Structure 1
Amino acid sequence: MMLKKYFTLLFLLVISIQAVQAQGIEFFHGSWAEAKAEAKKQNKPIFMDAFTTWCGPCKRMAANVFTKAEVGDYFNKNFVNYKLDMEKGDGPAVAKEFKVEFYPTYLFFTPDGELMHKAMGAKGPEDFIKDGQTAADPNSNLYGQVKRFKNGDRDPKFVESFLSKLGDLDQNMQKDVLDTYWKGKKMTDLLEPANWAIFRDHETDILSERYKYVFDNRKAFYDKFGKNDVDGSLINKAGPQMQTALQTGDEVLYNRVREVLLTSDKKEVKKFTANSEVLFKLVKKDYKNFNKLANAYVTEHIAGSAEDLNQLAWAVYQNTDDKESLSNAENWAKKSVELKKNYANTDTYASVLYKNK
């Protein structure tokens, strides 16, 4: 009798475990080629969870979202589901082919294995199901929107939506779409609200003719869209490009960014511009002007900031053996320690002292 009860309990336990497992997404087990063959056989699109073993958000999705009954109901009905570690087996080749750079990434393929949509990031069950619904809709998925654009759809609202979708997924394609969209348009078309929205939200090339036109004709854009919106757009695009100019020593890019930044009267932009001018002289090994600008920058912007003084002194330590520059760096590092002593500025001060012996 006890044995019968034991087997009954064991049977119920197995059934309950199977029921829990069946609630979530059921993943196909096999190679990528086998998963594509299965999708073709069932005439279903493929959902691929592109993950890595070290990705925390990937683990949370697997534990807290893929296991939900409503998620399983939708994905099991509509997709052949497949998990692939991007660092093992077929993973590296898939990651390279479909430009998987962030995790988790969700790839959706047609039954023939052609990419039709891409999404990223940890999210809740409702938003994740929306990703699946978008992927399954030929009018909304990335594949469908690429086809619409290639077939000549240039409606600004559609293009803006398409560019927004591309923003995090394929920046090279986003640039190509922008260049294609603007072909045949006049510069004055940028003053149309829909086109301004596309420029404001998606243009990144500050050396482009479009950017130059907006910058040179700011007054007309102020009158139409407001000074804050226009200046904010121009400066937000220029700021990140300064890092590229500093890394490469590109004078054309540097001068363009500087020209834009100098139009701002905001305190934080003025500080950023002054700092960039100082660092660019250091990069170009123009030590005479570097020291002149650096001392003015310290006096005007960072005399009371231990962190900023330390960063400037460290930049000198890392980039030059010039004696005047090192002597100035020694003073900045010393002042940083006096303001707020910590491991970082103590290390900088000691390093500069040693190098400046």
Structure 2
Amino acid sequence: MLRKLLLLSSALLVLIAGGFQHLKAQNRKVDLKENLPFTEVLKMAKEKKKLIFLDFGSITCKPCMYIKKEVLTLDSVADFINERFVSVDYNVGAEKDRLRKLYSVVGEPVLLILDQNGVLMHRMAGKMEGNQLMQRFKQGLDVNNNFVALTASYNKGTRDAGFVLKYLETLFNASETETMNKVVKEYLQGPVERIKEPGVWSVFYKYDQDIASREMMYMFDNREEFYKLFGKDKVDSKINKLYSEKSIFYLYGHKPPIDDPKFRVLLDYLRKTDYPRASEWLCYFVPAQYKYKDWNKLGQEVDNIYSFNVLKGKSGASFKDMMLTQYMMYCDDLKAMKYPIRWSEELLNTAGTDAEKKRYAASRASLLEKEKNFDKEKLNWTDMN
């Protein structure tokens, strides 16, 4: 019995010691310098015989801060990067601006791998978890499969489906959207019926983001046939994703949707189709045609949507809430302010929590203040003339 107790005690001590070691091990992080002159970075890389890792972000960017606090502090990530790279975070200043132009960095976060001479090897972008970052860093170190190598192979004419899929994934992970769309368009050239072929379908399904492309329209028009070939769930998920994203983009975007040549095509298309979710998307498309052009007409169309009871429950309240924000931010028509003021009152009367009531009351007060300012501006203009 005593022997068993001693063995158990020894095992417990081992576990406790291992636990302390584990906790201690979590203190490591990537040795990330900040905003250094790039000449100094190049010098350090050559002296230490290491590659260069540049992190472009800012302290106001949530995905950037997530990577710094949650990913670059993982032991496996820190050990891997510190052993191989001189790492610098560019979050502010003239050197950041200069390097962004030099390496065509758009958006944030953007992570770059460079050789000791500052030549680009690999590009990554967006929020990522530790395992994703490790996979992308390892790809970046593979001189035959990193961003630059795959681009060179593509430019030399490599076009087999497996390679194109790998290249498109790399472009996607780098947020190189324009190049990605160009590669997809070039690959899908030829008879549109080619997207029925499994290899071509894989490229189209995963990477064709053009909602008005001939391939997308063809699949939509012949979806019963595509259901049989690739499954209803997969085909519908493609349609739902693109139309849902585009609906929100048009109604809540920063430019008049009607100025986009594709907008009218898609609006007419949704009005004719019998696709089950078309009515839902029309709730966004129909009012969006008046955004920045006629705020009064936009308000009328939103009222029509509620009169037909298409958007219900939480989705209806959320939609109305978002429209309040649009009018507060962008509306320049005094006559149209009656719509968001009334919507704010309706939301306030149906709010389920004190927090919601407080928020809608604040929205109503803000809208009334904006309406009052319209009157002041009108009076000032009259006085001036």
**Do they fold alike, i.e. is TM over 0.5?**
yes
Matched, 1:177 2:183: yes
Matched, 1:137 2:155: no
Whole-Å separation in 1 of the counterparts to 2:371 and 2:73? 59
1:91 CA displacement = 1.6
Q: Contact conserved, 1:104 with 1:122, CA < 8 A, in 2? A: no
| Match of residue 259 from structure 2 | 250
1:162 CA displacement = 1.6
Matched, 1:338 2:373: no
Counterpart AA for 1:164:
E
| Match of residue 17 from structure 1 | none
Q: Contact conserved, 1:245 with 1:251, CA < 8 A, in 2? A: no
1:243 CA displacement = 5.0
1:286 CA displacement = 8.8
Whole-Å separation in 2 of the counterparts to 1:274 and 1:55? 32
Moved more, 339-348 or 232-241: 339-348
1:157 CA displacement = 2.2
Q: Alignment partner of 1:273: what SS?
A: helix
Q: Contact conserved, 1:36 with 1:111, CA < 8 A, in 2? A: yes
Moved more, 38-47 or 171-180: 38-47
Alignment CA distance shift 1:40-1:264 (3 Å): farther
| Match of residue 222 from structure 1 | 227
Q: Write the mapping of 1:300-311 to structure 2, written as runs, cut at 5 A.
A: 300-301=308-309, 302=311, 308-309=319-320, 311=322
| CA RMSD of superposed structures (Å) | 4.0
| Match of residue 8 from structure 1 | none
Whole-Å separation in 1 of the counterparts to 2:364 and 2:42? 59
Q: Contact conserved, 1:330 with 1:352, CA < 8 A, in 2? A: no
Matched, 1:45 2:43: no
Alignment CA distance shift 1:252-1:216 (3 Å): farther
Q: Alignment partner of 1:238: what SS?
A: helix
Structure 1 length-normalised TM:
0.73
| Match of residue 296 from structure 1 | 304
Matched, 1:320 2:338: no
Aligned length: 329
Counterpart AA for 1:346:
R
| Match of residue 22 from structure 2 | none
1:114 CA displacement = 1.7
| Match of residue 93 from structure 2 | 88
Deviations along 1:141-171, one digit per CA (max 9) or x if unpaired, are 1112112211222121221222122114211
Structure 1: gaps of 5 or more residues: 1-19
Whole-Å separation in 1 of the counterparts to 2:317 and 2:142? 55
1:202 CA displacement = 1.2
Q: Contact conserved, 1:45 with 1:111, CA < 8 A, in 2? A: yes
Q: Contact conserved, 1:282 with 1:319, CA < 8 A, in 2? A: no
Deviations along 1:305-335, one digit per CA (max 9) or x if unpaired, are 555445556756725344xx66666654443
Alignment CA distance shift 1:215-1:27 (3 Å): closer
Alignment CA distance shift 1:153-1:235 (3 Å): same
Counterpart AA for 2:38:
W
Structure 2: gaps of 5 or more residues: 1-24, 352-356, 376-385
1:135 CA displacement = 1.3
Q: Alignment partner of 2:289: what SS?
A: helix
Deviations along 1:205-240, one digit per CA (max 9) or x if unpaired, are 233333333334334323322333223313422333
1:58 CA displacement = 5.6
Q: Write the mapping of 1:78-227 to structure 2, written as runs, cut at 5 A.
A: 78-79=84-85, 81-101=86-106, 103-120=108-125, 121=127, 123-124=129-130, 128-169=133-174, 170-183=176-189, 185-227=190-232
Q: Contact conserved, 2:30 with 2:78, CA < 8 A, in 1? A: yes
Counterpart AA for 2:305:
Y
Whole-Å separation in 2 of the counterparts to 1:270 and 1:82? 51
1:73 CA displacement = 5.0
